[in-house]
Amino acid sequence: MITDIDRAAEIIHNAKSLIALTGAGISTESGIPDFRSAEGLWQKYDPAEYGTIQAFHANPEKVWRMLFDMVDLARNARPNPGHTALSELEKMNILKCIITQNIDNLHQEAGSVNVIEYHGNVSRLECLQCGTRYGDGDMDIGTIASGRVPPRCTRCGVILKPTVIFFGETIPRDAMDRSNSAAQSADAVLVVGTSAVVYPAAGIPLIAKQNRAVIIEFNIEATDLTRYGTDIFIQGKSGTTLPEIVRRIKSS
C-alpha cells in the first residue's frame, strides 16, 4: 500500500525546483515556542507595546526588554532533525531554497545555505539612523543579551534594532522578490510548521500552486491551507516526518 509519505518522497525526489516555506512549528521542537502560544512571548509582552516599529522608535530601551528574551530563546536553541533534514535535501541538490518566517537562524546552523529570511534575523543588528548593519562576528549578540544593555551603533551611538521585522514594517524587498521568483519557478513546495494564513508569506504556496506546483504540507494539525491548497498532508512532528522522507529518498 502506497502511503502519503511514499508519495511525498517520490515527488520530492523527482522535483526539479523544490522549495520550502517554514514557520514557527519547525522550531518548537528546538524549544522556541510560537509567539502566540501559551508559552509564547506575546503572553508576557503585549505586542502593541513591544512588537511595533512605532514602539521601538518611541522607547527602544523598553522594547529591548522583550528582545533580550527573544535573543535568549534563539541562542539557547539548537537545530532539530527537521532542520537537519532540510539541510540534507539541499546538500542532495533537491531542495533549492528555504523561505523561512523564523528569526532564529536555526536553518543556517543546521547547514542550509540558500535561506531567504522573510522576517529578518534576531542575531543581526541595524542602525535606523545611519543604516549601518552588523552581521555575524561584528557584535556578540549573546554577550549583549547577557549584559542586558541595549547595543549601540559604533558610528552614531543610536540604540540598534535587530533586523527582525516589527509590526508596521514592510517585508524587505529583496526577500519578497527572491521568494516570489522561487515560488513562480517551483514544481513542488514543502510547507513546514506554518498555518500559512499570515500574508504576504501565505501567498507563496498559492503563487506556486497557480503554476501547477505540488504542495506538500507538514504540520501537526490541519490548517486552512490543508483544505484549499495542499495536495499531500503529512501529519506529525516535522522532526520525525522530514527525516523519514530523507531516509526513503536515500534508500530508493
Query: Could you tell me the CA-to-CA distances from 195 to 132, 133, 177, 211, 226 in Å, in that order?
Result: 34, 31, 22, 21, 9
Q: Which three cell numbers stand for residue 111?
A: 547547514
Cβ neighbourhood burial of 226 (10 Å; 0-12, 13-18, 19+): middle
166 HSE (CA, 13 A, CB side): 21
Q: What is the DSSP letter of 105?
A: -
Sign of CA dihedral 226, 229, 233, 236: negative
Active site residues: 119
CA dist list (Å): 97 to 87, 176, 225: 10, 14, 21
Give the DSSP H/E element, type plus range, for residue 188.
strand 188-192
Q: Is 163 helix (H, G, I), strand (E, B) or coil?
A: coil
Contact (Cβ atoms closer than 8 angstroms) between residue 186 and residue 19: yes
Distance CA 57, CA 54 (A): 5
- 247 CB neighbour count, 10 Å cutoff: 14
